[in-house]
Every structure is written in structure tokens, then in C-alpha cells.
Amino acid sequence: MSGCGLVRGVALGIALLAIGSATPLHGQEAKMLTTAEALALPQPAADHRLAYGPGPLQFGELRLPEGKGPFPVAIVLHGGCWLAAYDLGYVAGLAEELAKEGIATWSVEYRRVGDEGGGWPGTFLDVAAGADHLRTLAKSFPLDLGRVVALGHSAGGHLALWLGGRRGLPAESALASGEPLALSGVVGLAPIADLAAFSSATGCGAAVPDLLGGAPGAVPERLRLASPIAMLPLGLPQRLLVGAADPIVPPAQVRAYAEAARKAGDEVTLVEIPAAGHFEAVVPGSSAWPAVRAAVRGLLGLSRGE
């Protein structure tokens, strides 16, 4: 990326650390988890760290439940405005908790804005390759590839929805890559589902032009290939969750996407979590966690006893 873009990304990262301290919700004092607090969450070690490509950022963390399996799988995609400053560490607790629920988790790292090869198209190609690498992992680990969901938070929610829709990409497009792994559904936690609407001069939305290699209006074909709302229908079930007081991803944008997806014929459920901000959904034991757990388990067809 350009030096200007890198400087802008660093400045944006610093600004995001200040977002989301104590956010009142309709007169109630509700302490929301800040970006800095989210980055400081416990990061339990994975069972395996495995490469899906030759680059230093082309790897994933695999966590396996106890037992013989085969286990259903959640592909976990972290957020952080697609910026190199933020990695998969802060979703480690989420991945670990799902593994305790009997769900294998494959947390995919990927090149981001600020990394060599990150942005367009590297970020998307990495996420696709990481997801499809489950076919290779299933040769060595007890994974049930008939039950796989993509689960992403924030910018990772955008990429999870994009994974769900990439089967419809033109074969000649820059983001097409082989035969996409079939998914049972997508869980988006505060997902950035409309890149054009989210793009802005400040805040996390300022990273959108660097992700696309141009402002949304200047690269309409890239926008069509990369923005979930432009890819509708995705053709698979979607479970969307957003904090009612999210200061980073406006709940109204998530609602608008859900309405558009339903009109396009997709099965979509949207849950707005009262007194929650941007990060509560990735924290096991938070007010948002029961809804996250139910969404993942539901798409994987897991009963209460499993």
C-alpha cells in the first residue's frame, strides 16, 4: 500500500483505541468494552498453528473439542478494520469457548491493509484459501466438512459474509479461487455488510478505500465483488448480531442489510443486544454470548445435549 495509506491506517488504529469507553444507552449507564480492553482479553493457546499458504500471515489456529469427532467446524475471522495493527488474538477466547461446546474452530489469519500483499485482492484471497484449507486439515483431523459455518466479527463479519457469497463470483474475477468450500451458514457479529455505506472520512470506515484500492464510488466493480450487500442473495442462512449501542458499526446499517437480504430471498435472523457495544459478542459470558452460542449451534444443527 502507499505510504499515505499506511500513515492513515496507523492513525486510524490509534483513534480506534479510544472508542467505546462508557456508553450510555437510553439513559442507562452501560459500561461497554473498549478496543483496548478487547485487545487485552485472555488469549488461550490453540491446539495447533498451521500454515495454509507460504506467507508468514497465511496460517490458522485450530482448536479441537474433547472426544473422537468428527466435529462440526466454525471458521473464525477476526476484525480490526482490515488493518495490520489488529490480529486474531482477541478472538482466541471465543474460539476456545466454542471448542468446549463441541465445535472445532479454525481461526484464520490473513494479510491486511499495511501488510505486503494485503488489501485488494490479497486479503480476500487469503480468507478464501484459509477456508478451503479445511479440506486438507480434514485428512489429518476429525472434522465434519458437512457442517461448517463462517463466524466473523466486525471487518471479520464482512469477510464471513463474503465467504458465504463467493460461490456467485464470476470465474474470471480477481477474487475467484477454485471450488469454494460449502458452508452451512454465516454468523456475523457486528458485521460490516455494506462497504459503501460504511466508508467514511474518519473512524473504521476510513479503511474501506485502502481495502478496495480506491473509494467505493471510484471502483464500482470491486465493490460489487467485495461488498456483501452487492452480492445478494448469498444463498445460505445468516445470523446477524449487533450491540444496540455499537459505536463502530451502526446497528442501522446491519438492519438495512438484513432487510435487503430477506428481500433478495435469503434466510436472515437479526438480534440486537441491549446494553451492548461493539465487542461484547466476542466475550464468552457477556450479555451477548447466549445469542452468539445459539446462532452458531443452530446453524450447525446441534441439539442441547450435543
Confidence of residue 53 (pLDDT cuts 50, 70, 90): very high
pLDDT given at position 288:
96
pLDDT given at position 287:
92
- Which of 177 and 22 is assigned the larger pLDDT? 177
| Average pLDDT for 114-143 | 98
**CB contact set of 174 (below 8 Å; sequence gap of 6+):** 120, 121, 222, 225
pLDDT given at position 194:
98
Confidence of residue 306 (pLDDT cuts 50, 70, 90): low
Reported as a single tens digit per residue, the pLDDT across 154-210 is 999 999 999 999 999 999 999 998 899 999 999 999 999 999 999 999 999 999 999
Q: Indicate the domain borders of the chain.
A: 3-300
Query: CA of 22: how far to CAs of 14, 136, 275, 277, 278, in Å?
Result: 18, 45, 11, 10, 12
Confidence of residue 4 (pLDDT cuts 50, 70, 90): very low
| Average pLDDT for 274-289 | 95
Widest distance between CA atoms in the chain: 54
Q: Specify the CATH number of the domain 3-300.
A: 3.40.50.1820
pLDDT given at position 14:
35
Grid cell 442507562 is found at 28
